[in-house]
C-alpha cells in the first residue's frame, strides 16, 4: 500500500512537465534543422543593396571619364597637327619672302642693264666723229643715273644729301676735316661717298668732311 501511494505521487509530480518539455525540445530541433538545411528565411544583409548601387555608379562614372579622355586626346592631336601645318606654311612663306622679296627690284634693275648694254654697244661702234660718240655715252650715263634714282625711290631707297647740315654720327662717317670758311664748325662741308637710307634706316653711312675752325 505504501509503495503504491509513493509511485502514484511520483507520477503526479512529473506529469505536468510533459506538455512543456517535449514541445520545447521539438522546436529546438526544428530550428536547428532549418539552420542546417538553409531554410532560414530571415532578411538579407541590409547593406548589400546600397553597396551594389554604389559600385554601379562608380562603373558608370569610370566609363564617362574614359570617354572624356578619349575625346580630349583626339582634340589635342588635331590641334597639334594644325599647329604643325601652320608652322610649316609660315616657314615656307618666310623662305619665299627671302628669295622673291627683291623680285620687283631686280626686274627694275634689268632695265638699267639694258641701257648699259646699249651704251657699251654705242662705244665700241666705229664712228668717224668721236664727239658724237662721247655725246651718246654721256646721254646714256645720264639716263642710267636718272633711271637708278627712280628705281631707288620706288623701293624706298633714298640717297642722303648732307652737305650744309649738321654732322650726325648715325648717318655720317668723318673721313677728313676742312677749314670752316662760310660754314659753321661741325657742319658737313663735302661728301666723298654717298650714303643711303632704306625706308628711313641707314644702310650705308655717308663719308663726309666736316668743317672745323682754322687756327692761324
What is the per-residue pLDDT across 25-37, written as a single tens digit (0 to 9) for each? 444 444 444 444 4
Model pLDDT, residue 127: 65
Residue 172 CB coordination number (10 Å): 22
Closest CA to 187 of 207, 167, 161, 206: 167
pLDDT < 70 regions, the chain = 1-53, 126-128, 215-216
Residue 105 CB coordination number (10 Å): 14
Instruction: Note whether 153 and 197 are within 8 A (CB).
Output: no
Model pLDDT, residue 21: 43
Strand order in the sheet with 188-193: 172-179, 206-212, 188-193
Contacts of 180 (CB under 8 A, 6+ apart): 187, 189, 211, 212, 213, 214
Per DSSP bridges, beta strands 188-193 and 172-179 are unpaired
Model pLDDT, residue 213: 84
Q: Going from the N-terminus, what domains does the chain have, and what CATH number goes with each?
A: 158-216 (2.30.22.10)
Amino acid at each position: 500500500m505504501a509503495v503504491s501511494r509513493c509511485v502514484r505521487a511520483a507520477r503526479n509530480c512529473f506529469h505536468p512537465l510533459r506538455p512543456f518539455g517535449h514541445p520545447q525540445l521539438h522546436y529546438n530541433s526544428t530550428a536547428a534543422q532549418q539552420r542546417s538545411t538553409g531554410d532560414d528565411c530571415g532578411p538579407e544583409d541590409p547593406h548589400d543593396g546600397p553597396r551594389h548601387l554604389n559600385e554601379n555608379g562608380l562603373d558608370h562614372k569610370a566609363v564617362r571619364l574614359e570617354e572624356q579622355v578619349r575625346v580630349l586626346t583626339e582634340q589635342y592631336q588635331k590641334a597639334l597637327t594644325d599647329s604643325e601645318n601652320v608652322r610649316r606654311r609660315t616657314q615656307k612663306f618666310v623662305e619665299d619672302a627671302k628669295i622673291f622679296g627683291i623680285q620687283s627690284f631686280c626686274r627694275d634693275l634689268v632695265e638699267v642693264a639694258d641701257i648699259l648694254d646699249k651704251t657699251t654697244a654705242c662705244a665700241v661702234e666705229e664712228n668717224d666723229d668721236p664727239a658724237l660718240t662721247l655725246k651718246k655715252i654721256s646721254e646714256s650715263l645720264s639716263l642710267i643715273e636718272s633711271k637708278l634714282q627712280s628705281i631707288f625711290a620706288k623701293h624706298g631707297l633714298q640717297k642722303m644729301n648732307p652737305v650744309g647740315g649738321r654732322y650726325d654720327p648715325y648717318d655720317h662717317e668723318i673721313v677728313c676735316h676742312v677749314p670752316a670758311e662760310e660754314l659753321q664748325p661741325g657742319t658737313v662741308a663735302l661728301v666723298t661717298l654717298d650714303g643711303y637710307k632704306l625706308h628711313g634706316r641707314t644702310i650705308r653711312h655717308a663719308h663726309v668732311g666736316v668743317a672745323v675752325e682754322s687756327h692761324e
